[in-house]
Structure formats: structure tokens, C-alpha cells
Amino acid sequence: MTTPTIKKTGPVEGQLPDMPINPEWILDGTPEARGTVLLQSPDQKLSSGFWSCTAGRFNWIFSWDEFVHILEGEATIAQEGGPTITLKAGDSAHFPSGAKTEWLVPQYVRKFFTLRTAEPFVL
């Protein structure tokens, strides 16, 4: 029997690596997205990390369940067939798998995320 191991990561310093938005999803502006996965479960189906984005408007279709906590900035998110919400620093939200959304980032947003995927999440 294997003993579960606690994983730890240190602080993230400097600029996050590029994690571009699908160009077909960009509706307005030139949003630059960056992100990194910090930790994953052994099966790579549970992941957490940081993501940031500069000003712009874009679609985002969630192919996984994602919990977010906004660290800086804000974003207004409209869900197809659902409410429009504005998330600001300190807010948390859950985006269910299959959610079709439109994001408006007025200046900048940075979030911590935890996501659960059906298949291993490999970048």
C-alpha cells in the first residue's frame, strides 16, 4: 500500500508563461493570457494554478469543472442561458463543465484556479 504524499510548491515569481486564448474565441481587443499549473493529483485529473489576462473580450467554453478565486482585477462573465456576474478581487466562483461564457476583462484579471477534468490534464 502506498502512503499518500503531500505536495508543496513555493511562491510563483516573475511573469507567468503564455497560455493563449483560442484566437477564434477573441471578440474584441488583444487579450494576453498567461498561466501555470502548480500542482496536480497523481492521475492529473485535479489541477491548480494561476491564470491572468489583460484587457479584452472573448468566449470561453469550459470543458472541465473549475473553481476560481480572483486575486487581482476584475472580469464580467456572461453565461449562455444564465446570469451575468462580475468577479472582483476576493470573489470566488464555480464554472461547471460545459458552461459557455463570454468574458469581458476591462483592464486585468488574475485568478487562482482548481479544475477537475475527466481525462488527465496535460499542457
Look up the CATH number of the domain holding residue 51.
2.60.120.10
C-alpha cell at 106: 476591462
* Within a domain: 15: no
* Within a domain: 83: yes
3 state DSSP class of 66: strand
**pLDDT average per 10 residues of sequence, the chain (123 residues):** 88 92 98 97 96 98 97 97 96 97 98 97 85
Q: State the pLDDT at residue 13.
A: 87
Give how many domains the chain has, as a whole number: 1
* Within a domain: 6: no
* Within a domain: 54: yes
Do the beta carbons of residue 79 and residue 101 sit within 8 Å?
A: yes
Sorted by sequence, the CB contacts under 8 Å of residue 97 that are 6+ apart come out as: 62, 63, 64, 65, 118
The residue range of the domain holding 34 is: 23-116
Structure pTM? 0.93
Q: 43: which DSSP letter?
A: T
Q: State the pLDDT at residue 68.
A: 98
- Counting Cα atoms < 13 Å in the Cβ hemisphere of 68 gives 24
Count of Cβ atoms closer than 10 Å to residue 17 Cβ: 9
* Within a domain: 38: yes
